[in-house]
Structure formats: C-alpha cells, structure tokens
Amino acid sequence: MRKVLEIAFTFTVMLFIAGSLAGFLLDRPVFVSYAYSESMTPTIGKGDLFFINPLARNFDVGDIIVFHRRDGWTVHRIFAVTEEGFITKGDFNVATDQQEGKYPLVQREDIAGKVLSLFGHPLVVRGGGDFVESTKHRLGNIYAVVAILVLGAVLTFSNGTEKRKRGRRGKFLKIPVRSVYGVVSVLIVAGFLFVTVSSWGTLAFSYSSTLAGGQREGWYLPGSSFEKNLTLENNAVYPFYYFVGGMSNNTELITADRFALDGRSDGVLHLRVKVPKDTRVYREEITVHSYPAILPFALVSALYDVNPYAPLLTYSIELGLVLLAFYYLADLGRGDVLRLRIRRGSLIGKIFGDG
C-alpha cells in the first residue's frame, strides 16, 4: 500500500511539474494561476492563487473559467451562453466583458480550463499569487522553473537517502547515483533553456519627425520615408535560427523575417520606415528570437508561428530523451550510491541528527 501511495504521489507531482513547465514555455496557465486585478472580488481577490482543471470540457452559466482575450489571460465567470460563444463577467464588475463590443464572445478554443471548486466555492490560496509574483521578481522565471524541475527530479529518481552509523567515526549518507543524475539532467535542460531565452532581445533605433528634416542625421520630414539597416550578430560558435517581429505599423521589414546564421557571423536587417506626421522623437523596437539549429528549420518555424516558447518545449523533450537514453545505456539505475561521510558536529550531521 505504501508503494502504491508513493507511486501515486510521484505521478501527481510529475504531472503538476510537466504542466507547469508546459505553461511556462507556452505562456499560458495550466494547473495554477493568480488574479491580477480586483475584477473577481470577493470570490477571487487580487493576488489570490487558484487552481485550474485544464481537462474541463463542459462549461455552463456560473462556472469560473480562465480564458484568453486581447489583453491577456483572464479569470471571469460565465454570465450567459449563446450559440456564438460565452458572455463573461467579473463578480466585481457592473457590466459584462462583451457589453458595447468591448471584447468579443469567448470561444471554447480560448478557454484554458475551469477554476476548481469545492462545495460551490473556488479553491483559493489568499495572497498566494502575491508571493509567487514577489519570488518571480527576485529570482526570475527561469530560476523558478529550475527549482521546480530539481524538486521533480529528486522525487522521480530517488527513493530517499540512506544513512548508516560507523561507530565514533560518524555516519555515511548514501545518495543514489540516479538521484544525482536526475538533478544534473534537470540542470542541463534548465541551463539550455536559460541560455536560449537569454539570447532573445530587441534591436532599437530612434529618429525624429520634424519640419527641419534632413538638416541633421536622424531628422526626417513628416510623411516621408527612409531605409535603415540593422546588424544582427551570432556570437556563438554554433549556427542559430533567427526570427524577427514585433515591429510597429511605421516599420516594414524588406528582408526575410526568419533565417539562419552560421557561428561567428552576422546578418543585415533591411527596413523601410514611414515617418509619422506628428512631429516628435520616435523609437522603433524589433524583437528577435533565436534558437540553436539542432532541429529542422521548417519544424522550428512552424512551432514559432504557434508561440515563441513552443520550440523550447520541443528542444527540452529532445534533450530529455537523449539524457534518458544515456541513463539506461549507462545502467545508472542499478542501485549504485554515493557515500558521503557526515562528521559529528557538522551542519549536515545536525540536520540528519548525530547518532
């Protein structure tokens, strides 16, 4: 019975971790989220954490759902159901989201799931979201993912550490090799994600719309247009794929918006800019996402069209399968352990208890 409970607990934790990682990479809530505003007060207050059932398929009036709209992910209650979609409303709001055409009707494909409830009341952790947000600001998203993955690796690969007394010489702490390999593997995947996301950035330039256009560099007449070249450098030794986007309506990319660059090389982005008629200084920014060229370009391009984080999920799965294959080929799960001596009076000895 104990073994069954351990397996069930491990499976549940890994399912939660996998969902959380997928949510991070795909930029969508999966199992948990928290409210960013007071629109659902007092049911769900600002900063409250709540749990989501992503497998829910039946939605009715009164259900609290998590859905996507133009300004991001939202948690509101279903106010009415029509043939064209759902009408939603925050408990604290006077009007529905769709009143006066402010937002379109919510479609099923826009819904991430239903908020879990117990006896008609949503399961909420008051202030839990504020804690997550403050932790995220201190550590950054990628570090939070690392912590979650390390915890998952320990729970998955380890049956616990063992300790054995050695008389007065102290104790030995026995750690399964597979536990160490699990943590190291997670750190490798997390490191890969961190390095890749860290390479993302923006290219920016400024110009002025002014009646004195042409008198100085960067000054242009209102309503005119000019061309601008920006250099994109691949400082890595390995080829990378680059995807360019996020431009304003004033900027047009003449060259391709996705391409590959060999290691230690650079490329040129050729832009055409239409100068606005309002006279002031403008700043244009272009977002750049890059991915190692270890998957077919067509596959990465298709995933990028879904979401910039989608290729990272595929990379992580591929790297995870390689590490898992090595785990079995090297026969690391046969029971080998690392033995660490715990001396009396040491910090570790105090934690595990001096005999």
Least confident of 9-13, 68-72, 89-93, 329-333: 9-13
Closest CA to 260 of 245, 239, 229: 239
Q: What percent of the chain has pLDDT over 90?
A: 35
Least confident of 22-26, 36-40, 51-55, 245-249: 22-26
pLDDT band at 270 (very low <50, low <70, confident <90, very high): very high
Supply the pLDDT for residue 298. Answer: 95
SS (H, E, C) the chain: CHHHHHHHHHHHHHHHHHHHHHHHHHCCCCCEEECCCCCCCCCCCCCCEEEEECCCCCCCCCCEEEEEECCEEEEEEEEEECCCCEEEECCCCCCCCCHHHCCCCECHHHEEEEECEECCEECEECCHHHHHHHHHHHHCHHHHHHHHHHHHHHHHHCCCCEEEECHHHCEEEEEEHHHHHHHHHHHHHHHHHHHHHHCCEEEEEEEEECCCCCCCCCEECCCCEEEEEEEEEECCCCCEEEEEECCCCCEEECCCCEEEECCCEEEEEEEEEECCCCCCEEEEEEEEEEEECCCCHHHHHHHHHHCCCHHHHHHHHHHHHHHHHHHHHCCCCCCCEEEEEECCCCHHHHHHCCC
pTM of the predicted structure, to 2 decimals: 0.52
pLDDT band at 160 (very low <50, low <70, confident <90, very high): very low
pLDDT band at 179 (very low <50, low <70, confident <90, very high): confident
Supply the pLDDT for residue 57. Answer: 86
The yes-or-no verdict on residue 157 having pLDDT over 50 is no
Least confident of 107-111, 189-193, 227-231, 279-283: 189-193
Q: Which fold has domain 1-29+140-355?
A: Immunoglobulin-like (2.60.40)
Supply the pLDDT for residue 325. Answer: 85
The 10s digit of each residue's pLDDT in 109-125 is 889 899 998 888 898 98
CATH of domain 31-130: 2.10.109.10
Supply the pLDDT for residue 185. Answer: 82
Strand-pair partners of 68 = 73
Strand-pair partners of 225 = 274
Question: What does the pLDDT average to over 235-251?
Answer: 90
pLDDT band at 230 (very low <50, low <70, confident <90, very high): very high
pLDDT band at 161 (very low <50, low <70, confident <90, very high): very low
Q: Where are the domains of the chain?
A: 1-29+140-355, 31-130
Q: What percent of the chain has pLDDT over 70?
A: 72
> In this structure, what are the phi and psi dihedrals at residue 139, rounded to the nearest 5 degrees?
-100, -30
The 10s digit of each residue's pLDDT in 193-220 is 877 887 788 888 999 999 999 999 899 9
Supply the pLDDT for residue 235. Answer: 82
Supply the pLDDT for residue 343. Answer: 57
Task: Extract the tokens encoding 68.
Answer: 């996507």
The 10s digit of each residue's pLDDT in 68-83 is 888 788 999 999 999 9
The yes-or-no verdict on residue 5 having pLDDT over 70 is no
The yes-or-no verdict on residue 107 having pLDDT over 50 is yes
